[in-house]
A = this chain, B = another copy of it.
Amino acid sequence: MEYEEPKFFHVMQYAAAADGDVIDMVSGNPDWEPPAALREALREYADLPPADFQYPPSDGLRELREAIAERRGVDPDRVVVTNGTGEANYLAMARALDRGAGDEALLMDPVYPYYPGKTHLLGGEPTLVPTARDGGLDVDAVREAASEDTALIVLNTPNNPTGAVYDLDAVREVVGLAEAVDAVVVVDEVYDRFDLAGSFESALTLDSDRVIVTSGFSKSMAITGLRVGYGVFPEAHVGDAKTRHMLVNVTGARPSQYAVYHALAETEPDYYAQSRELLADRVDAFTDALDAAGAEYSRPEGAFYVLARFEGFPGTMANVKRLVDEAGVAGMPGEAFGTARDEWIRFALVTPRATEAAERLADYFADGAPETPADPR
C-alpha cells in the first residue's frame, strides 16, 4: 500500500478552493476550548526566568512524566514524553522493527494511514489484517496472519476511523499471539478520553512486557498543535526508545510540556465529560440524519469519527469531491484507509456544524444516490 497521508491535504485543499460553503469533516482537530488551566499555564510560562526557556530533560519534564505515570499506574522511568502521539508511535514501531525479529507489521484494516507510512519509513513491510464488520478486533484473522516474520502488531483503540473500542480479552489474545511469534504489540490509545460507550480498558492493565502503549493530549485537551504525547515502554525497550528520541528530536517543546503538566494537574473530570457529551450529542444528531439518508453506518463506541456507506455511491476520491461540490460536505474517502472500507466515507465530528452537515447529506441522498455523470469519453 502506498503512503496515503497526503490525501487528507488533497481533500482539505479541494474543499477550501470550492465555490460554495463547505462544512469540513476531514481533519481530526477538536473545535472546543482547551482546559482553562492550560491557557493560564502558558501565560505563566511567558514570565518565567531564562533558565525555564532551556532544554527540558530529554525524556520530558520530570513532573509531567510523574503525573502521566501516576494516571497510568506505571513506573515513571517507563514513560517517554514525545512530540505528540505521532512521535510516540514512531519510537514504538521502531523498537519493534529494530530487534532483528522480522520485518512484518500487522496493521488492522481499515487502517490509520500513518501506520503503513511509518512502517515503510522504518524498513518494515505492512500486512493488512481484516477486522469485524463493526471494526472490532478479529483475533482469528490476526492468528492466521501472524508468522515468524511478524515483528510488530499495531492496534488503535478507541479506533480511528471505525470508532470501535477493542474488547480487552481480544487484545489479551493478540498479545499472546505476539508472544508466540516474538512480536511487540503497540497500542495507540490517544482517544482514550473519548470512550463514548464506557467500555474502554487500557492495554496497560495486561501488564505485559510485549506491550507498548502510546497516547497524548492532542485530542483530550483539544491541542493538536501543542505536540505533547508519550509512550509507556516495557523496561527492556525504554532505553533504546529514549536514545532514538534524543537522536531525532533531542527533546520536546518545554512551553507545551509545562502547560500540559498544569492542565493535567488542575483540570476537573468535568472538562473531559463535557467534550465526551458534546461528541455523543453530535453522534446522535449525525446518525439520525444518516438514517434519514438511508445510509449504512456503525455507531462509534469511541473516538471522533463516523464511517458511512451510501448505496451506489462508493467512497472514492471522485465521489468525495462530488459531495464537496454538490452537498457542501467534505469527508475522507474510505479508500484512504486501506482496503476494507473503500465503499465508505469517514466524517469527523469535530465541527459545531456536524448537525447541519448531516442535514445536507440527508437532503442530498433523499431520493437515493445521485446519477453518476456520463463518462466524458
Binding site for B on A (CB under 8 A): 3, 5, 27, 29-34, 39-40, 42-43, 45-47, 50-56, 83-84, 86-87, 90, 114, 117-118, 121, 222-227, 243-244, 246-256, 259
Contact = CB atoms under 8 A, between A and B. Distances in A.
Contact of A222 (B30, B50, B247, B253): B50
Contacts of A246: 5, 117
Contact of A248 (B27, B86, B222): B86
A247 B54 CA distance: 26
A351 B56 CA distance: 18
A251 B226 contact: no
A45 B47 contact: no
Contacts of A249: 83-84, 86-87, 90, 227, 249
A13 to B, nearest CB: 11
A29 B54 contact: yes
Given A30-B54, A31-B51, A253-B256, 15 more contacts: A32-B50, A33-B50, A54-B223, A83-B227, A83-B249, A83-B250, A84-B249, A86-B250, A117-B247, A225-B253, A225-B254, A225-B255, A226-B253, A226-B254, A227-B253
B256 A53 contact: no
B54 A224 contact: yes
Contacts of A118: 247
Contacts of A256: 253, 255-256
23 contacts: A3-B247, A33-B50, A34-B50, A39-B46, A42-B255, A43-B46, A53-B226, A54-B224, A83-B249, A90-B249, A114-B247, A117-B243, A117-B246, A117-B247, A121-B244, A226-B254, A227-B249, A227-B254, A249-B249, A252-B253, A253-B255, A255-B259, A256-B256
A186 to B, nearest CB: 15
Contact of A247 (B33, B42, B90, B252): B90
Contacts of A226: 53, 253-255
A262 to B, nearest CB: 12
Contacts of A248: 86-87, 90, 121, 248
Contacts of A30: 50, 54
Contacts of A45: 42
Contacts of A243: 3, 117
A247 to B, nearest CB: 5
A59 B227 CA distance: 14
Most buried by B among A53, A256, A259: A53
A338 to B, nearest CB: 17
Contacts of A29: 51, 54-55
Q: Which of A3, A33, A47, A226 has the most CB of B within 10 A?
A: A226
B50 A31 contact: yes
A53 B254 CA distance: 16
A34 B45 CA distance: 13
Interface-centre pick from A32, A40, A87 (highest chain B CB count, 10 A): A87
